[in-house]
Amino acid sequence: MKVIKTILKRKLNWVALPLVVLFLVTATFAPLLAPTDPSAVDLEQKLSPPSHSHLLGTDHLGRDILSRLIWGARTSMGSVFLIINLVMITSLVVGSISGYIGGKVDSLFMRICEIFLTFPTFILAMFLIGVLGTGMINVVLAIALTHWAWYARIIRSLVLSMKNREYILAARVVGTSHWQIFVKHLAPPVLAQLVILATLDIGHMMLHVSGLSFLGLGVQPPMPEWGVMINDARQYIWTQPELIMYPGLMIFLAVLAFNILGDTFRDSLDPDILAEEA
Amino acid sequence: MLKFIFRRLLTLIPLLLVVSILVFLILRLGENDPAMAYLRLSQIPPTDDALATARETLGLNRPWTVQYFDWLWRTFHLDFGNSYVTGTPVLERILYYLPNTLYLAGVAFLITIVLSLPLGVMAALKKDRIPDHLTRVLAFIGVSTPNFWLGFMLVFLFSVHLGWLPPMGKGGIAHVIMPAFSLALMSLCINIRLVRASMLEQMNSRSVLYARVRGIFEKWVVGRHIFKNSMIPVITAIGMHIGEMLGGAVVVEMIFAWPGVGRFAVSSIYNRDFPVMQCFILMMTVIFVCSNLAVDIVNAWIDPRIRYEGNN
């Protein structure tokens, strides 16, 4: 309840929250909401203007734009959901072990993180896709691989700052095992901060997914994806600019909504994280 | 100061070595066989014989360690091998395209700095008033706009509709405006907010309070005490912006048919042209690392505390 109160206090969220809900609902129920099959090719109907059967018209293969936009939400949200989960799990494991155990394990893990942070992210993601191959799962893997290190470093510093607090020491003194301490006392607060951080990053990751797909290195056609749709429509910019307009607007609105919502939580971040972020 | 720079340079060597090992291994760990890629791109049918010959000529049948050290040795001598597609040296091609990319990124970088400083300062000085709100909205919009979509929208508005700017290619100043702006918008918006936040933090510092107590002119306080001290986080972020821009440039070059290294790299990824991919990622990483190093040096030069902290 407290969370909802914080969200509703900011006026911008009155716009962002319904948008986020809308996108999530669309993504979840895409098969029910889409009027037609998003991949159904009908060359006789290609590039047709809006009509009753195709509310937003059709693309260069006669596919229904509206259905593709709706399914695109599913692709976007789905891939970002997977990325966030992968990043959170990996960084939680690495960061906690590193921060809690310390010593040689810590310095080894942190070296590994440092190496990942040496590369420019988008370019490393491109390179990884070049090796793994294109497709949604590989994009998810590539983006997760290029982002986890930053999170792991933050989690490590959080765990470090927490592990010597009195309540943890007290738990040690009464003989609680390391595993119990981690599960009961360390993981919950760390996880809370991690979720906030991840919310801040959702928009950024969506841009990465659609950017790579736009380049032809991400989600592959005929799978409906907004970045792919923009790339498909690029040659029609002189005649049918709305083909580029719609999917771009979707990306923009989705990213904007998540960014505004994420920003609300920024104030509730641990100061340690804010310092690390800057 | 020299000691600081020297020590930072020393830490780079092992880092770049590990980076090179990683790049080398990743390319060979995948399911891709460089020999297969080579045959496909040279349009030789992949018979067992042809594969064996290709492995022989590419030196792929030697142990990995030997291959790595051989590759590293050549890389040190700036020999990145030949492209599987064209058969010409990779470095030649990359160096042919790289200046265009650096030009594009440079202009975008300039736009970022020139616009973000005054806007950020204004937002901080007029906190919670109209200029501040405007830049906040602008920042939200800017960081949420996909650069590949922004590019097309600019083309639609300024080329298709108004006919003011050329839609693609490289030429005079007019050609660089739209690509550079598409590339800059994200960093620009992040930077505006960063300058603002950093200025506000300095405004509440004791040194500024003391300056005010001494009765120093407001302009002097803002310029000398607040602005100058608030630059350190902003400079630190420049390294991050450069990383963003190297990646963003690839996308923007595709939209505007800009003859940069990014387009070349994307086509090499489609083709699995391994030598080009290797050279591209190493080149970009080195540029990224060096710009981060430059940022560190500038920061240490401005703020002696960083220098001394590093020395101990």
Q: Which tens digits make up the pLDDT trace of A68-109?
A: 899 999 999 999 999 999 999 999 999 999 988 888 999 999
For residue A135, CA distances in Å to A75, A147, A222, B270 come to 11, 19, 11, 13
Of A227, A221, A217, residue with least CA distance to A76: A227
Rounded alpha-carbon distances, angstroms, from residue B147 to A61, A224, B240: 26, 20, 17
Put simply, whether B140 touches A (Cβ < 8 Å) is: yes
Query: If you average pLDDT over each of A12-21, A137-146, B202-211, which comes out highest?
Result: A137-146
Better-predicted residue by pLDDT, B1 or A261: A261
Contacts with A149 from chain B: Cβ below 8 Å: none
CA distance B245 to chain A (A): 9
Task: Determine, for residues B156 and A241 on separate chains, whether the beta-carbon distance falls below 8 Å.
Answer: yes
What Rg, from alpha-carbon coordinates, does chain B have?
24
Q: What residues of chain B, 155 to 174, have a C-beta less than 8 Å from chain A?
A: 155-156, 160
B148 touches chain A (CB under 8 A): yes
Residue B21 has pLDDT above 70, yes or no: yes
Which pairs count as long-range contacts for A129-132, CB under 8 Å and 24+ apart, including other chains?
A129/A212, A129/A217, A129/A218, A129/B269, A130/A217, A130/B268, A130/B269, A130/B272, A130/B277, A131/B26, A131/B27, A131/B29, A131/B30, A131/B32, A132/B30
Work out the minimum CA distance from A46 to partner chain B, whole angstroms. Answer: 22
- How does residue A184 score in pLDDT terms, banded at 50, 70 and 90? confident
The predicted model gives B206-225 an average pLDDT of 80
The length of chain A is 278
Are B269 and A230 inside 8 Å of each other by CB?
no
* Residue A3 binned pLDDT confidence (cut-offs 50, 70, 90): confident
What tokens were used for A216? 């032809």
- Is B294 a residue whose pLDDT tops 60? yes
Give the nearest chain A residue to B271 (CA atoms). Answer: A130
**Given this model, what pLDDT does residue A273 score?**
60
Percent of chain B at pLDDT > 90 equals: 18
Rounded distance between C-alpha atoms, residue A74 and residue A81, angstroms:
10
In degrees rounded to 5, what are phi and psi of residue A219?
-60, 135
Per-residue burial over B64-73, b = 16 or more CB atoms within 10 Å of its CB, e = otherwise: eeebbeebee
Q: Kindly tell me if the per-residue pLDDT of B312 is higher than 50.
A: no
The reported pTM is 0.87
Residues of B in contact with A130 (CB under 8 A): 268-269, 272, 277
Per-residue pLDDT, B237: 86
Integer Cα distance of B237 and B246 in angstroms? 15
Q: Tell me the chain A residues in contact with residue B32 when contact means C-beta distances shorter than 8 Å.
A: 131
* A132, A244, A255 member nearest B152 (Cβ): A244
Contacts with A237 from chain B: Cβ below 8 Å: 152, 155-156, 160
Which residues of A have a CB under 8 Å from any CB of B?
12, 111, 114-115, 118-124, 126-133, 203, 207, 210-211, 214-217, 227, 230, 234, 237-238, 241, 244-245, 247-248, 251-252, 255-256, 259-260, 263, 278
Is there a contact between A126 and B265 if contact means CB atoms under 8 Å apart? yes
The CATH number assigned to the domain with range A2-30+57-277 reads 1.10.3720.10
| Residue boundaries of the structural domains of chain A | 2-30+57-277
Contact B95, B261 (CB under 8 A): no
- List the single residue in B with minimal CA-CA distance to A263: B140
Question: pLDDT tens across B146-204, in order?
Answer: 998 998 888 888 888 887 878 777 777 778 889 999 999 999 999 998 899 888 888 88
Contact B152 A255 (CB under 8 A): no
Residue A98 DSSP SS3: helix
Of B212, B230, B210, B231, which is closest to residue B220 (Cα–Cα)? Answer: B212
Across the interface, do B144 and A217 touch by the CB < 8 Å criterion?
no
Least confident residue range of A156-160, A249-253, B2-6, B185-189: B2-6
Which pLDDT belongs to residue A148? 93
CB within 8 Å: A122 and B265: no
- Looking at chain A, the whole-number percentage of residues with pLDDT higher than 90 is 30
A278 pLDDT tier (thresholds 50, 70, 90)? very low
Is B146 in Cβ contact with A251 (below 8 Å)?
yes
Q: Is the pLDDT of residue B261 over 60?
A: yes
Residue B163 DSSP SS3: coil
Residues in chain A closer than 8 A to B252 (CB atoms): none
Beta bridge partners of B82: B89
Q: What is the mean pLDDT of chain A?
A: 85
Res B306 pLDDT > 80: no
Residue B289 near chain A (CB below 8 Å): yes
Three-state DSSP class for B289? Answer: helix
DSSP B75-113: HHTT---B-TTT-SBHHHHHHHHHHHHHHHHHHHHHHHH
Question: Among B15, B292, B285, B6, which residue's Cα sits nearest to residue A114?
Answer: B15
Measured from the Cβ of residue B49, the count of other Cβ atoms closer than 10 Å reads 9
Confidence of residue B77 (pLDDT cuts 50, 70, 90): confident
- Residue-wise pLDDT tens digits, A105-130: 999 999 889 888 889 999 999 999 88
Picking from A146, A207, A228 by the largest number of B CB atoms within 10 A of its own CB, the best residue to mutate is A207
Return the pLDDT at B36: 75
Question: What is the arithmetic mean of pLDDT over A209-234?
Answer: 88
To the nearest whole Å, the CA of A172 is away from the closest chain B CA by: 34
**In the predicted structure, residue B111 carries a pLDDT above the cut 50:** yes
Give CA–CA dist A239/A29, Å, rounded: 33
Over range B88-102, report the average pLDDT: 89
Give residue B182's pLDDT.
Answer: 93
ipTM at complex level: 0.86
Distance from CA of B214 to the nearest CA of A (A): 31
Residue A275 has pLDDT above 60, yes or no: no
Of A60-74, A142-156, B83-97, highest mean pLDDT: A142-156
